[in-house]
Amino acid sequence: MAYRALTEEEAKDYALQVKNLFPSNAQLTSREIGDGNLNLVFHIQDQHSGKSIIFKQALPYARVVGESWPLSIDRARIEARALQLQHELCPDHIPAVYHYDAELALTIMEDLSDHIILRKGLIEARTYPYFARHIGLFTARTLFYQSDFFLDPHTKKARVSEFINPDLCKITEDLVFTDPYCDAERNSFNPYITEHVHKLWQDEEIKGHVAQLKHKFLTSTESLIHGDLHTGSIFVTAESTKVIDPEFAYYGPIGFDLGAVFANLVLNFAAQHVRIQDAAERTAYQSYLLNTIQQTWEVFEQEFTRLCVTESKEPSLQQAAYIAHFVQQIKQDALGYAGCKMIRRVVGLAHVADLETIADPEARAVAEQLALFLGRSLIVQRSAWSSTPTFTEHIVATYQRWEEQQHESTTRIRAVE
Ligand code: SR1
Ligand code: MG
């Protein structure tokens, strides 16, 4: 069937034609439930058996903006293939793919309705005791087994070519690394933080650091990265973690995926500064978020290092001092990318619900200022912070410094009133 965007009715008819999906007497309902920035997502359910599945179809443009922003539907191929490879490596953390239609840019996959989106859980200040371990192992394994540490050089280069993903990379290049640092048309931000945003646009120090991080994003082919591993791309229950949406996958810097996880936990940390009223409750939840970051890193570091030592197929890379140096560099990159990904969610196109659902714009501005402050420190201090084992202590110290500054400026305002 030639490409066209499906309607709910057409999605239902299509589902009935795919072998072994539903019995022929199935009574299907179909609802388009996509609330992301790019694609159509249909929830299709058999009213007899209760069985349900998800259809994800790429649109030839960015849904969040409309047809004026054309986008290659090749991202559906990239996503289906990345899901297949990641499923082979981490079956517990990837939804099952039942069917892929290249013409329609359509993937049919497991419905994860018994899970919730991690971002939603974090906004509700819920805790997930296994998440750090799961995501630490997921990142270590998917990133190790698709890197030069493990793949033979011909397979690695073929994979780099298979995952050339220019349209989606360009979105990241522009929205994460360029737009937030200048007066770009696509930017949008809370008017209450205008002064802070203007200061950012004039901040030559941060721009120098962001240039380094962007250059690495443009040129590095360390491993097949997920490319958009924010908390809206992760489904959870108390015991389970599932990663979805690898349409931004390409061969890039390993630290980028960990950076996305860290960024979205720290964004939630900043949002909770105003969301949770009770001080003790707030401190406890913010500590949980930082422990999750620390534990994610520790699990990643241990597993990635173990794999480098025991599973590496490339003898030249199996040198203990080099492995330690490489892992240290991943940590530094992760902290820098985390900062970039925080700042773009405050200043650029496509914000996050953690902050956006704070209804009062003045209160939201406080959390956004904190996110900018922490984001800047992560970028500029990434080298110093990454050399300490408990790097999250730096986040706590920076938070305290920011609170003191807030207090001082409030006192100054009161003094002149
Ligand atoms: C135009 S797409 C905006 C953002 O949505 C995706 O989830 C990516 O994060 C992208 O940058
Ligand atoms: Mg996505």
Both structure tokens of 296: 């994610």
| Pocket lining: 175 vs ligand 1, CB cutoff 6 Å | yes
Q: How many CA atoms lie within 13 A of 272 on its CB side?
A: 28
Give the contacts of 389 (CB within 8 A, at least 6 positions apart).
none
Q: How many CA atoms lie within 13 A of 103 on its CB side?
A: 5
pLDDT at 410: 74
Both structure tokens of 283: 């401190």
Written as tens digits, the pLDDT of the chain (417 aa) is 799 999 999 999 999 999 999 998 999 999 999 988 999 999 999 999 999 999 999 999 999 999 999 999 999 999 999 999 999 999 999 999 999 999 999 999 999 999 999 999 999 999 999 999 999 999 999 999 999 999 999 999 999 999 999 999 999 999 999 999 999 999 999 999 999 999 999 999 999 999 999 999 999 999 999 999 999 999 999 999 999 999 999 999 999 999 999 999 999 999 999 999 999 999 999 999 999 999 999 999 999 999 999 999 999 999 999 999 999 999 999 999 999 999 999 999 999 999 999 999 999 999 999 999 999 999 999 999 999 999 999 999 999 999 999 988 776 666 666
* Ligand 2 center to 304 CA (angstroms): 25
Alpha-helical segments (H) within 255-391: 255-275, 279-311, 320-347, 353-356, 361-380, 382-386
Helix (H, G, I), strand (E, B) or coil at 250: strand
| Pocket lining: 140 vs ligand 1, CB cutoff 6 Å | no
Both structure tokens of 320: 């203990």
Q: How many residues does the chain have?
A: 417
Angle at which helix 255-275 crosses helix 361-380, to 10 degrees, equals 150
Angle at which helix 320-347 crosses helix 194-201, to 10 degrees, equals 130
Q: Is the pTM of this model over 0.85?
A: yes
Measured in whole angstroms, the distance separating CA 139 from the mean position of its chain's CA atoms is: 12
Give the contacts of 131 (CB within 8 A, at least 6 positions apart).
118, 236, 241, 292, 296
Question: Relative to the alpha carbon of 260, which ligand is closest?
Answer: 1
Closest C-alpha to ligand 1, atom 8: 228
| Pocket lining: 379 vs ligand 1, CB cutoff 6 Å | no
Q: Check: CB of residue 295 under 8 Å from CB of residue 136.
A: yes
Residue tagged 């809370």 (tokens): 190
Measured in whole angstroms, the distance separating CA 236 from the mean position of its chain's CA atoms is: 14
Closest C-alpha to ligand 1, atom 2: 37
Both structure tokens of 267: 């964004």
